[in-house]
Structure 1
Amino acid sequence: MTGGGAGTPRPAGAADQQSYDVPPGPRGNPLLMTMRFMRKRGPLIRDAHATYGDTFSVQILPGPRTLVIHSDPADVKEIFAADPAQFHAGEGNAILKPVMGEHSLLLTDDAEHQRGRKLLMPAFTGPAMRSYRPLVEGLAKEAVQGWHDGQRLVTLDAMNAITLEVILQVVFGVTDEERLSVLRPKVTRIVDIDAGILLSWIFPRLRKVPPWRGFFTNLREVDDLLYAEIRERRAEHERGDLEGRDDVLSRLLRAGDDPEAAPGGDAGPRAADGTDGLSDEELRDQLVTLLLAGHETTASALSWTLHELGKDPVLLARATRAADEGDETFLEACLKEAMRLHPIIDFVARSLQSDQVVAGRRLPRGTTVTPSIMLSHSRESSFADAHAFRPGRFLDGEVTAGTWIPFGGGVRRCIGAAFSLMEGTVVLREVLQRFEVHTEKPTGPRLRNITNVPDDKAPVVLRAR
């Protein structure tokens, strides 16, 4: 998950300004450019790339601040390998703070980020993935069994319904149907946000007027429900009743019990309440982050995958055989190729904490350097026939390290990457074991909040096998 940049570059004298090498790029009214960046980013970035080349800049609010867009693999690798103390990812994602909260792993840097990542890691290890898998399989199986031959399935909606249940039950650990019925519509409203809602980060007063007021009222109601769940689960933990619970929230509560996982004074700051584990506020922020970073992103990846398979009978037949034979390597390759061809999140951001030379250019402190996932994934030099859906490229060694970057890279690579791929592969297998999918018509991307989804939600016609 990514967002805009961080602080405005520092004021500098004429001599200093001349020593910087900020690349050119499209310019215009800062507010209009910001709205275009939020709502029509794909055309903006592609047009700028065609005009200015692999590296260019865009200026958006607040500030305005300068984003320097990079797409050359060597430059992207350099940024991901840079010192995280000088290349802040948390500040680069600050636009999400009103929703995710200040403790979100996506929004913190330095020692606080290191501490949070260490506490979250036990919930995303190999053994943890294996424990989640049966729960994901059960939810996917239950959903698919409700479909029927000849049905016109709107894949984005269907996949969102499945991944929402995974978040609520596998991540939040809520299985009581009464609680789920309350949470589902409220959580869906958080995810189903227009990019304009994010303007409240730039203009906080917007939160007091419609439609922002309604969104943040709903967010507070979800917070109340999450805090109640956290308090109840923490009480279970104190009584020793959490053993056997494999949901992410329960694992995060147990993380503070492990001296190896719970960093003390030398490894990073303690929680706000003085404990080594995650505080209630930190737990809330991480849960909402996992919701926003892992719900519609995975659903969109699955929707694009089914859309592409439904267009190609040969690939569909191979994917169907893979589902029957348990060849999850090929199914995962289909998912990865869909994420390459249709980047769900199209860029990542790093805010410079000091003047830096990046890709041979001297840039001032406060600049946001921005590897473009969209441009990187469409380079013919990295992906032959880049505009074709070819899952086999992930099986034959064609994809070189550092060119496929849907989860970012470096020490800030998405902590939930393995979970997302596991979930997507499991769901894809459950679908293809029961149905063939046939795409109605080609579609293009639409930017919805911060994710690129199929413009028509990618409907397919189901044929029972």
Structure 2
Amino acid sequence: MTETALPPGPPLPPGIQAGLLMKFWPRFLSTCRHRYGDVFTLRVASLGTVVYLAHPADIKAVFGGDPAVFHAGEANSMLAGLLGSSSVLVIDGDEHRNRRRLMLAPFRREAVADQTALIAGIAADNIGGWPVDRTFAVAPRMSEITLEVILRTVIGATDAGRLAELRAVMPKLLSVGVWESLAINTPGLQRLAPWRPFRERLRAADRLLYAEIAERRADPHLAERTDALAMMIRTGDMTDTVLRDQLMTLLVAGHDTTATALSWALERLTRHPAVLQQAVRAARTGDDEYLDAVCKEVLRIRPVVFDVGRILTEPTEVAGYRLPAGVMVAPGIGLVHRDARQYPDPDRFDPARMLGGTPGPTTWLPFGGGNRRCLGANFALVEMAVVLREVLRRVDLAPTRAAAERPRVKGVILIPHRGARIRARAVHAAPRMSCPGQADPADVRTGPSPGT
């Protein structure tokens, strides 16, 4: 046990380390891991001292540690300017445990299963407008799908005018770059002219969310509704402000993340023709196990979030070091996922490695872990599989020899740097309830898309 020294790490100034993380997040951490081992220390401007962990045993100890000591909410506190101070992501202790319990109902397996037909329909409607025989970035299309899924299944919006407003304002609000991050980290900046557009978008979103909350509270059929907002209202334990913060949290945590995972899925599949062929066969014959394996392998090799954080509230033994209070410990999701000790030939995209068993919670952890594991993890996996199935049923994707798209940092996620560019050779307008893979020849669109 090392009593005083922190684990080794790069001697660069904190500002330089912050810049390297913002620009080269996975590459910088992988380089540090190669040079310093499974435990290393970064000193990052605005974050402080961060000890990264890349061994499953050490990560297990953090995920299973006392939540009163390992504060995830405090580590996420910079998001409060957008999510709100009562968001389940930025609170700790008993308050977090109780809030999380109240939010579980919409994400239980049976509740998620009730939403699959709606998700499939939303995906099918969007896919029908995809261009043919023209390379395009699919990430914006996936963002449209996942936003619509949240608006309809989580918020339960049905008013046409309000839906249109939400569709317009939410993508702008949730497209958070470095500039917007400053206003989120320091809400006082929102009063200044350069950040007023962000403040106006946030106010517009709040107005729409509060209108949805009021409408749901007044709905005489509230007891029969299946959207997450209705279920949370039925608990009777959340004020309008608390409900708003949870809705914003679910929008932020479940929109771009799932859209990005789906974009990576198509980017990976189109660069691996044999896997693409098998995935298409699975989608069109109802082989859910293989599609699930594809989703899990995508989240392994291209995790949307590369690490998670916990701030220590007291001196604590972690990975052979006694770390002082105030240090952030960060289980390195991407570091574990690319570890040859856990996944032989880790750079190979191979969904077959996910068949026949469930990966361990500290070797496959795209949703974090412990008492802070993503509340909507099950929903996200189901949504991924349903949307991917609809794409592969309805679109004949052209394989490509184009170079792999590299991860680009966008806020706190890693997106394909060119938007996951794909090409559809044909789009099938198959009836939603038809046999998988079958469509009338008249319902197949090939050649240049109208208007392209």
Matches within 5 A, 1:339-350: 339-350=299-310
Choose from 374, 377, 400 the match for 1:414. 374
Contact 1:337–1:390 (CA<8 Å) still a contact in 2? yes
Could you give the per-residue CA deviations for residues 123-146 of structure 1, whole angstroms, max 9, x where no partner exists? 111221121111111101111122
Choose from 72, 81, 88 the match for 2:55. 72
Choose from 24, 36, 53 the match for 2:20. 36
Using a 3 Å threshold, how does the CA distance of structure 1 residues 436 and 168 change in structure 2: closer, same or farther?
same
Could you give the per-residue CA deviations for residues 291-330 of structure 1, whole angstroms, max 9, x where no partner exists? 1110111011111111111112211111111101111121
Choose from 204, 207, 212 the match for 1:224. 207
Normalised by the length of structure 1, the TM-score is 0.87
Q: Aligned letter for 1:451?
A: I
Choose from 108, 112, 132 the match for 1:125. 108
Matches within 5 A, 1:93-132: 93-132=76-115
Question: Could you tell me which residue of structure 2 aligns to residue 461 of structure 1?
Answer: 423
Is 1:297–2:281 an aligned residue pair?
Answer: no
Identity percentage of aligned residues: 40
Question: Could you tell me which residue of structure 2 aligns to residue 255 of structure 1?
Answer: 235
Question: Could you tell me which residue of structure 2 aligns to residue 262 of structure 1?
Answer: none
Matches within 5 A, 1:430-445: 430-440=390-400, 441=402, 442-445=404-407
Question: Could you tell me which residue of structure 1 aligns to residue 34 of structure 2?
Answer: 50
Question: Could you tell me which residue of structure 1 aligns to residue 441 of structure 2?
Answer: none
Q: Secondary structure at the match of 1:40?
A: helix
Number of matched pairs:
424
Contact 1:307–1:439 (CA<8 Å) still a contact in 2? no
Question: Could you tell me which residue of structure 2 aligns to residue 272 of structure 1?
Answer: none
Is 1:362–2:322 an aligned residue pair?
Answer: yes
Q: Secondary structure at the match of 2:103?
A: helix
- Partners of 1:242 and 1:159 in 2: CA distance: 30
Q: Aligned letter for 2:44?
A: I
Matches within 5 A, 1:82-97: 82-97=65-80
Q: Secondary structure at the match of 2:423?
A: strand
Q: Aligned letter for 1:77?
A: K
Normalised by the length of structure 2, the TM-score is 0.90
Using a 3 Å threshold, how does the CA distance of structure 1 residues 35 and 235 change in structure 2: closer, same or farther?
farther
Q: Which residues of structure 1 form unaligned runs of 5+? A: 1-17, 257-276
Q: Which residues of structure 2 form unaligned runs of 5+? A: 429-452
Which deviates more, 389-398 or 428-437?
389-398
Q: Secondary structure at the match of 1:453?
A: strand
Using a 3 Å threshold, how does the CA distance of structure 1 residues 154 and 126 change in structure 2: closer, same or farther?
same
Choose from 226, 234, 238 the match for 1:246. 226
Following superposition, the deviation at residue 202 of structure 1 comes to 4.9
Following superposition, the deviation at residue 401 of structure 1 comes to 4.2
- Partners of 2:56 and 2:135 in 1: CA distance: 40
Using a 3 Å threshold, how does the CA distance of structure 1 residues 439 and 219 change in structure 2: closer, same or farther?
farther
Contact 1:439–1:458 (CA<8 Å) still a contact in 2? no
Could you give the per-residue CA deviations for residues 45-87 of structure 1, whole angstroms, max 9, x where no partner exists? 122222212111112233x621101111111111111111111
Q: Secondary structure at the match of 1:243?
A: helix
Q: Secondary structure at the match of 1:129?
A: helix
Contact 1:207–1:216 (CA<8 Å) still a contact in 2? yes
Question: Could you tell me which residue of structure 2 aligns to residue 283 of structure 1?
Answer: 243
Q: Secondary structure at the match of 2:101?
A: helix
Question: Could you tell me which residue of structure 1 aligns to residue 414 of structure 2?
Answer: 452
Could you give the per-residue CA deviations for residues 247-285 of structure 1, whole angstroms, max 9, x where no partner exists? 1111111123xxxxxxxxxxxxxxxxxxxx111111111
Is 1:331–2:284 an aligned residue pair?
Answer: no
Question: Could you tell me which residue of structure 2 aligns to residue 380 of structure 1?
Answer: 340
